[in-house]
Amino acid sequence: MSLPQSVALCDVGPRDGFQFEDQFIPTDLKVETITALADAGLPRIQVASFVHPKWVPQMKDAEAVCERLPERDDVTYAGLALNQRGLERAHAADLSQVDLSIATHDQHSQDNANRTVEEAVAQAEDMVRLAHEQGLDVQMGFQTVFGYRAPGDTPLDQVVDMSRHFADLGIESLSLADSTGLANPRMIKARVRAVRDVVGGTPLVLHLHDTRGLGLANVYAALQCGVDRFDTSLAGMGGCPFIDGATGNIATEDTTYLLEGLGIDTGVDRTVVGRASARLESFLEKEFPGKLHRLPRRAEAPGDGAPSE
């Protein structure tokens, strides 16, 4: 079995994690957190979503956050856009990448966006073209790839057809999301392999939730299929506020620990990420589901299990 030698993580906490919180996180603290993630070596950070504040009040300062991002050549800052207005705002905020996201399950698309998957695909096609005209890289994201109401109830042939279609449009990457946390390692392998067969050289990204405790097991299954890009969230913040029970992204610190233990390079300093996690826990007066950020550093070092001399 051959695993990737290195893996690139994208911390989605400043978007996916923050939007899950009812208490407004001040702009200063958002920028402080993003800066810490960049300093920790995260090569990609999803910094905001450009949505109407009526629906996601936490993101009302998206432009203010983007305006204050530290200039870094080694970090890609991305923003989520769900419609053309959001795309225009992302472009005006001077981001280099926009993340688009649509459902792959018909009922989820109706419940969440009041449109069919076919209608969502047509809108996303227009957004991809517009983003390219504006010089933006595009990550196309598919929601509920591994199930909406039950494991595997999203038709695989629909996911495969959509993957082929958007890969042909020249996207930077394709993100497959386990939005409801229903995936298991066997399903991860089957669906990742089916999609990889049709997208050519388009990189795959997995966006996994740990809702049922299988997040890191699913990471390992994806690694066995050659996936080398994952979305994570500091301290395991976040989820999807529009899907009941869709809580718990895989934690950046925990995922990094797993990868280090497998001999896979991430370039991420877990200590720096952990300090940012602790800062947010203190401000929000709550504990997040991640584990490693609360352990003393000496208890975190991965090893091979051999006794010390």
CA distance 204 to 211: 22
CA distance 275 to 37: 10
Distance from C-alpha of 160 to C-alpha of 130, rounded to nearest angstrom? 24
Report the DSSP pairing between strands 97-103 and 8-11: unpaired
Alpha carbon distances (Å) from 220 to 76, 231, 257, 273, 291: 25, 14, 12, 22, 18
- Residue 240 is a catalytic residue: yes
The number of CA neighbours under 13 Å toward the Cβ of 85 is 4
**C-alpha to C-alpha distance for 67 and 93, rounded to whole angstroms:** 7
HSE-up of residue 6 (Cα within 13 Å, Cβ side): 7
Q: Where are the alpha helices (DSSP H) in the chain?
A: 27-39, 62-67, 84-92, 106-113, 117-133, 156-168, 185-196, 215-224, 252-261, 270-284
The dihedrals phi and psi of 297, each to the nearest 5 degrees, come to: -55, -40
- Residues involved in catalysis: 240
